[in-house]
Protein backbone atom coordinates (compact mmCIF):
# COMPACT_ATOMS: atom_id res chain seq x y z
CA UNK A 1 0.00 0.00 0.00
CA UNK A 2 1.39 3.40 -1.01
CA UNK A 3 1.54 5.94 1.78
CA UNK A 4 2.11 9.66 2.16
CA UNK A 5 3.68 10.82 5.44
CA UNK A 6 2.85 14.42 6.34
CA UNK A 7 4.65 15.80 9.38
CA UNK A 8 2.58 18.34 11.30
CA UNK A 9 -0.61 17.07 9.66
CA UNK A 10 -2.92 17.92 12.55
CA UNK A 11 -3.50 21.57 11.71
CA UNK A 12 -3.05 24.37 9.18
CA UNK A 13 -1.09 23.74 6.00
CA UNK A 14 -0.26 20.14 6.95
CA UNK A 15 -3.93 19.28 7.37
CA UNK A 16 -4.76 20.64 3.89
CA UNK A 17 -1.83 18.61 2.49
CA UNK A 18 -3.18 15.45 4.18
CA UNK A 19 -6.55 15.95 2.43
CA UNK A 20 -4.82 16.41 -0.94
CA UNK A 21 -2.68 13.30 -0.48
CA UNK A 22 -5.80 11.27 0.35
CA UNK A 23 -7.51 12.69 -2.75
CA UNK A 24 -4.52 11.47 -4.77
CA UNK A 25 -5.23 7.96 -3.47
CA UNK A 26 -2.56 7.71 -0.79
CA UNK A 27 -2.98 6.10 2.62
CA UNK A 28 -2.08 9.10 4.78
CA UNK A 29 0.15 8.99 7.85
CA UNK A 30 -0.93 12.03 9.84
CA UNK A 31 1.93 13.05 12.12
CA UNK A 32 1.49 15.47 15.00
CA UNK A 33 3.32 16.41 18.18
CA UNK A 34 0.75 16.98 20.91
CA UNK A 35 -2.64 17.97 19.53
CA UNK A 36 -4.39 14.61 19.25
CA UNK A 37 -7.81 16.24 19.11
CA UNK A 38 -6.95 18.17 15.91
CA UNK A 39 -5.08 15.18 14.46
CA UNK A 40 -8.19 13.05 15.02
CA UNK A 41 -10.26 15.65 13.16
CA UNK A 42 -7.88 15.50 10.19
CA UNK A 43 -8.10 11.71 10.02
CA UNK A 44 -11.88 11.70 10.45
CA UNK A 45 -12.27 14.13 7.53
CA UNK A 46 -9.95 12.00 5.35
CA UNK A 47 -12.18 9.00 6.07
CA UNK A 48 -15.37 10.98 5.50
CA UNK A 49 -14.02 11.98 2.08
CA UNK A 50 -13.54 8.29 1.25
CA UNK A 51 -9.80 8.08 1.99
CA UNK A 52 -7.84 6.20 4.62
CA UNK A 53 -4.87 6.64 6.92
CA UNK A 54 -3.67 6.58 10.49
CA UNK A 55 -2.18 8.86 13.13
CA UNK A 56 1.54 8.64 13.84
CA UNK A 57 2.60 10.76 16.80
CA UNK A 58 6.23 11.71 17.10
CA UNK A 59 8.19 14.86 17.82
CA UNK A 60 10.25 15.82 14.75
CA UNK A 61 12.61 17.76 17.03
CA UNK A 62 13.52 14.57 18.91
CA UNK A 63 15.65 12.08 16.99
CA UNK A 64 15.07 9.28 19.49
CA UNK A 65 11.30 9.71 19.17
CA UNK A 66 11.60 9.64 15.36
CA UNK A 67 13.84 6.59 15.33
CA UNK A 68 11.69 4.72 17.80
CA UNK A 69 8.18 5.53 16.54
CA UNK A 70 8.67 6.09 12.81
CA UNK A 71 11.48 3.54 12.68
CA UNK A 72 9.27 0.88 14.29
CA UNK A 73 6.37 1.74 11.98
CA UNK A 74 8.59 1.29 8.91
CA UNK A 75 10.01 -1.99 10.23
CA UNK A 76 6.67 -3.51 11.15
CA UNK A 77 4.43 -2.18 8.35
CA UNK A 78 5.85 -4.48 5.71
CA UNK A 79 2.71 -4.17 3.56
CA UNK A 80 3.06 -0.37 3.40
CA UNK A 81 5.62 1.90 1.82
CA UNK A 82 6.07 5.67 2.09
CA UNK A 83 6.15 6.99 -1.46
CA UNK A 84 5.56 10.64 -0.55
CA UNK A 85 7.18 12.48 2.34
CA UNK A 86 6.08 16.01 3.16
CA UNK A 87 8.31 17.63 5.79
CA UNK A 88 5.84 20.25 6.93
CA UNK A 89 6.08 20.44 10.75
CA UNK A 90 7.49 23.76 11.87
CA UNK A 91 7.37 26.35 14.61
CA UNK A 92 8.37 29.96 14.92
CA UNK A 93 9.55 31.84 17.97
CA UNK A 94 10.21 35.41 16.88
CA UNK A 95 12.43 37.88 18.71
CA UNK A 96 15.29 40.16 17.70
CA UNK A 97 18.56 38.26 17.79
CA UNK A 98 20.06 40.36 20.58
CA UNK A 99 17.31 39.05 22.87
CA UNK A 100 17.11 35.52 21.50
CA UNK A 101 17.56 32.80 24.12
CA UNK A 102 19.49 29.58 23.47
CA UNK A 103 16.27 27.53 23.48
CA UNK A 104 14.57 29.86 21.01
CA UNK A 105 17.41 29.28 18.59
CA UNK A 106 17.71 25.53 19.13
CA UNK A 107 13.99 24.65 19.27
CA UNK A 108 13.28 26.29 15.92
CA UNK A 109 16.38 24.79 14.27
CA UNK A 110 15.68 21.35 15.74
CA UNK A 111 12.07 21.28 14.54
CA UNK A 112 12.66 22.35 10.92
CA UNK A 113 16.24 21.42 10.08
CA UNK A 114 16.99 18.44 12.35
CA UNK A 115 13.43 17.21 11.75
CA UNK A 116 14.03 17.24 8.01
CA UNK A 117 17.28 15.27 8.44
CA UNK A 118 16.20 12.54 10.84
CA UNK A 119 12.80 11.89 9.25
CA UNK A 120 14.07 11.93 5.66
CA UNK A 121 17.07 9.70 6.39
CA UNK A 122 14.73 7.01 7.71
CA UNK A 123 12.18 7.26 4.93
CA UNK A 124 14.52 7.54 1.96
CA UNK A 125 15.86 3.97 2.24
CA UNK A 126 12.69 2.36 0.96
CA UNK A 127 12.37 5.02 -1.77
CA UNK A 128 15.90 4.15 -2.91
CA UNK A 129 15.00 0.45 -3.02
CA UNK A 130 11.78 1.09 -4.96
CA UNK A 131 13.54 3.62 -7.21
CA UNK A 132 10.68 6.07 -6.79
CA UNK A 133 9.77 8.79 -4.33
CA UNK A 134 8.67 12.36 -3.82
CA UNK A 135 10.04 14.50 -1.00
CA UNK A 136 8.53 17.94 -0.52
CA UNK A 137 9.81 20.29 2.18
CA UNK A 138 7.67 23.16 3.41
CA UNK A 139 10.06 26.07 3.84
CA UNK A 140 9.26 29.79 3.85
CA UNK A 141 9.71 33.16 2.23
CA UNK A 142 11.69 33.88 5.41
CA UNK A 143 14.30 31.29 4.40
CA UNK A 144 14.71 32.81 0.95
CA UNK A 145 14.71 36.47 1.89
CA UNK A 146 15.54 36.59 5.61
CA UNK A 147 13.12 38.47 7.85
CA UNK A 148 13.99 40.60 10.90
CA UNK A 149 12.93 39.00 14.18
CA UNK A 150 13.29 35.56 12.59
CA UNK A 151 17.03 34.87 12.57
CA UNK A 152 16.33 31.39 13.98
CA UNK A 153 13.44 30.65 11.60
CA UNK A 154 15.17 32.12 8.52
CA UNK A 155 18.29 30.07 9.29
CA UNK A 156 16.29 26.87 9.78
CA UNK A 157 14.34 27.28 6.54
CA UNK A 158 17.40 28.40 4.54
CA UNK A 159 19.14 25.27 5.83
CA UNK A 160 16.33 23.09 4.52
CA UNK A 161 16.48 24.91 1.17
CA UNK A 162 20.19 24.04 0.85
CA UNK A 163 19.51 20.46 1.90
CA UNK A 164 16.71 20.19 -0.69
CA UNK A 165 19.06 21.18 -3.50
CA UNK A 166 21.87 18.88 -2.31
CA UNK A 167 19.70 15.81 -1.72
CA UNK A 168 18.00 16.29 -5.11
CA UNK A 169 21.40 15.78 -6.73
CA UNK A 170 22.17 12.71 -4.63
CA UNK A 171 19.00 10.79 -5.45
CA UNK A 172 17.87 12.06 -8.88
CA UNK A 173 19.12 8.94 -10.67
CA UNK A 174 16.97 6.75 -8.39
CA UNK A 175 13.65 8.27 -9.48
CA UNK A 176 13.30 10.39 -6.35
CA UNK A 177 12.61 14.11 -6.62
CA UNK A 178 13.27 16.54 -3.76
CA UNK A 179 11.61 19.94 -3.89
CA UNK A 180 10.34 22.64 -1.55
CA UNK A 181 7.41 25.00 -1.39
CA UNK A 182 7.99 28.41 0.17
CA UNK A 183 4.77 29.96 1.46
CA UNK A 184 4.41 33.66 2.22
CA UNK A 185 1.64 34.69 4.65
CA UNK A 186 -0.89 31.86 4.97
CA UNK A 187 -3.96 31.92 7.22
CA UNK A 188 -3.23 29.39 9.99
CA UNK A 189 -2.66 29.35 13.75
CA UNK A 190 0.94 30.40 13.05
CA UNK A 191 -0.12 33.76 11.60
CA UNK A 192 -3.05 34.32 13.95
CA UNK A 193 -1.56 37.36 15.69
CA UNK A 194 -0.64 39.16 12.44
CA UNK A 195 -2.68 42.05 11.07
CA UNK A 196 -3.81 40.95 7.59
CA UNK A 197 -5.37 44.35 6.85
CA UNK A 198 -2.05 46.08 7.36
CA UNK A 199 0.15 43.43 5.74
CA UNK A 200 -1.95 42.98 2.61
CA UNK A 201 -0.80 46.37 1.33
CA UNK A 202 2.64 44.81 0.65
CA UNK A 203 1.25 41.63 -0.96
CA UNK A 204 0.61 42.01 -4.72
CA UNK A 205 -2.55 39.84 -4.63
CA UNK A 206 -3.75 41.82 -1.56
CA UNK A 207 -4.58 38.97 0.81
CA UNK A 208 -3.13 36.13 2.86
CA UNK A 209 -3.04 32.73 1.15
CA UNK A 210 -4.98 29.65 2.22
CA UNK A 211 -3.59 26.28 3.35
CA UNK A 212 -5.36 24.74 0.34
CA UNK A 213 -3.35 26.94 -2.04
CA UNK A 214 -0.11 25.63 -0.53
CA UNK A 215 -1.43 22.05 -0.61
CA UNK A 216 -2.18 22.42 -4.32
CA UNK A 217 1.48 23.28 -5.01
CA UNK A 218 2.62 20.31 -2.88
CA UNK A 219 0.28 17.98 -4.79
CA UNK A 220 1.72 19.19 -8.09
CA UNK A 221 5.27 18.40 -6.95
CA UNK A 222 4.06 15.06 -5.54
CA UNK A 223 2.52 13.97 -8.84
CA UNK A 224 4.19 11.37 -11.08
CA UNK A 225 4.09 13.94 -13.91
CA UNK A 226 6.45 16.26 -11.99
CA UNK A 227 9.30 13.77 -12.51
CA UNK A 228 11.57 16.27 -14.27
CA UNK A 229 11.35 18.93 -11.55
CA UNK A 230 13.83 18.50 -8.72
CA UNK A 231 15.90 20.72 -6.43
CA UNK A 232 13.33 23.46 -7.02
CA UNK A 233 11.83 25.94 -4.54
CA UNK A 234 8.28 26.91 -5.50
CA UNK A 235 7.06 30.14 -3.90
CA UNK A 236 3.38 30.38 -2.91
CA UNK A 237 3.23 33.93 -1.68
CA UNK A 238 0.88 36.07 -3.77
CA UNK A 239 3.82 37.71 -5.50
CA UNK A 240 5.35 39.05 -2.28
CA UNK A 241 8.86 37.88 -3.04
CA UNK A 242 10.40 39.26 -6.20
By CB under 6 A, residue 138 contacts ligand NAP: yes
Per DSSP, 237 falls in state S
239: left (phi over 0), alpha (psi -120 to 50) or beta: left
Q: Is 187 exposed, middle or buried (0-12, 13-18, 19+ CB in 10 A)?
A: middle
- Give the one residue of 10, 104, 120, 150 binding ligand NAP; rule: CB under 6 A: 10
Q: Is 32 in the site for ligand NAP (CB under 6 A)?
A: yes
Q: Which has the closest alpha carbon to 47: 23, 67, 79, 80?
A: 23
Q: Which is nearer to ligand NAP, 38 or 130 (CB)?
A: 38
Stretch touching ligand NAP by CB under 6 A, among 32-40, 95-103, 124-132, 220-228: 32-40
Q: Residue 31's beta-bridge partner residues?
A: 56
Distance of closest approach, residue 46 Cβ to ligand NAP, in angstroms: 14
CA quadruple 76, 174, 166, 123: dihedral, nearest 10: -10
Return the number of the residue (9 or 51) whose C-beta is nearest ligand NAP. 9
Say how many Å lie between the first and final Cα of the chain, rounded.
41
Which one, 57 or 130, has the nearer CB to ligand NAP? 57
Name the maximum alpha-carbon separation found in the chain: 51
Our finding on whether 154 is near ligand NAP (CB under 6 A) is no
Q: Give the separation between CA 95 and CA 189, rounded to whole angstroms.
A: 18
Residue 89 as a binder of ligand NAP (CB under 6 A): the answer is yes
From residue 182 to residue 201, the character string flagging contacts with ligand NAP as x (rule: CB under 6 A) and all else as - is: -x-xx-xxxx----------
Q: Which of 34, 202, 205, 227 binds ligand NAP (CB under 6 A)?
A: 34
Binding to ligand NAP by residue 238, rule CB under 6 A? Answer: no
Binding site for ligand NAP (CB under 6 A): 7-8, 10-14, 31-35, 38, 59-61, 88-91, 111, 138, 140, 183, 185-186, 188-191
Amino acid sequence: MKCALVTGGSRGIGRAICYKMAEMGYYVLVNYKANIHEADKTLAQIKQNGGDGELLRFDVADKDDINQILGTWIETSTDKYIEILVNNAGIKDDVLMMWMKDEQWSNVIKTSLDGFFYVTRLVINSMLLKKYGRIINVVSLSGLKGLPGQVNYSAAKAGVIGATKALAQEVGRRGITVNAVAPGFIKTDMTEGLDEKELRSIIPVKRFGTPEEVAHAVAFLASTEAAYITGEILSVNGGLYS
